[in-house]
Amino acid sequence: MTLQFRDCALHVDGTLVVADLHFGKGAASNVELPLGAGEDCVDRLEPLLAHFEPDEVVLAGDVFHSFDYVPDAADRALADLSRAVRAAGARLVVVRGNHDTMLGEAYAGQIHDEYELDGDPTTVVCHGHEKPETEADRYVIGHDHPTIVIEGQKRPCFLVGDGAYRRSDVVVVPSFNRLVEGVSVNGRIGTARPELSPLVTGVASFRPVVWDGDSDETLRFPPLGQFERML
């Protein structure tokens, strides 16, 4: 299965994966948002659907932000996203995250704890806050909201770990919501990371991948343990 990176989404042979949409985060925030900031996830998803023409779109957990209620804005955002996916001729697959305690109140479709993609090698999408039950050659997860600071600029990044979890590959997808600050991986080598997914062990071996929208290219870096010494 070929991995393609664009914006904060991962495309895997006909499947588009986005994670940590955190719909409703703006409504739950107690701080004034920057001018122009907003939950533009659906607007950014539409060109990705046009570019990749996927058969399915998998939401890899934390669709909602609040644990105990569903703001109207979050409900509308999920409905708009569902319509955009259908309009593109794709099917929507929803995976539960640790924030999604109220997801069943707003989404009538099937909600998965883990979702296995068709094809070889076997690939399982899960949120990543818990150890997976399904054995796979590759796991695609969210949960950690990785970012990296390069030349003073903080960017969302993917993390790719070959054989990182029980000899299976792990790909960490950044948050698709630009209101989510993200957790910088800079300076984290050798430090305790209680927020990390249990699938992200030996983080120094993970390779950052950054999508550069200005140049329309994917920037691939050495493993964090090596790359950090270069910064």
Q: How big is the chain, counted in residues? A: 231
Question: Whole-model pTM above 0.85?
Answer: yes
Q: How many CB atoms lie within 10 A of CB 122?
A: 16
DSSP label at 204?
Answer: G
* Amino acid of residue 89: G
Strands (E), 96-227: 111-112, 114-117, 123-126, 138-141, 146-150, 153-156, 158-165, 168-172, 183-184, 207-212, 217-220
Per-residue pLDDT tens over the stretch 16-29: 999 999 888 765 55
Q: In the Cβ-directed half-sphere of 117, how many Cα atoms lie within 13 Å?
A: 29
Here the tokens at position 227 are 């790359």
More confident: 181 or 161:
161
The residue among 220, 217, 224, 160 whose CA lies nearest residue 7 is: 217
Here the tokens at position 162 are 């070959």
Per-residue pLDDT tens over the stretch 122-150: 999 999 999 999 999 999 999 999 999 88
Confidence of residue 193 (pLDDT cuts 50, 70, 90): low
> In this predicted structure, what is the pLDDT of residue 32?
41
More confident: 151 or 91:
91
Strands (E), 13-101: 15-18, 56-60, 91-95
Q: Is the pLDDT of residue 189 over 60?
A: no
Q: Is 172 left (phi over 0), alpha (psi -120 to 50) or beta?
A: beta
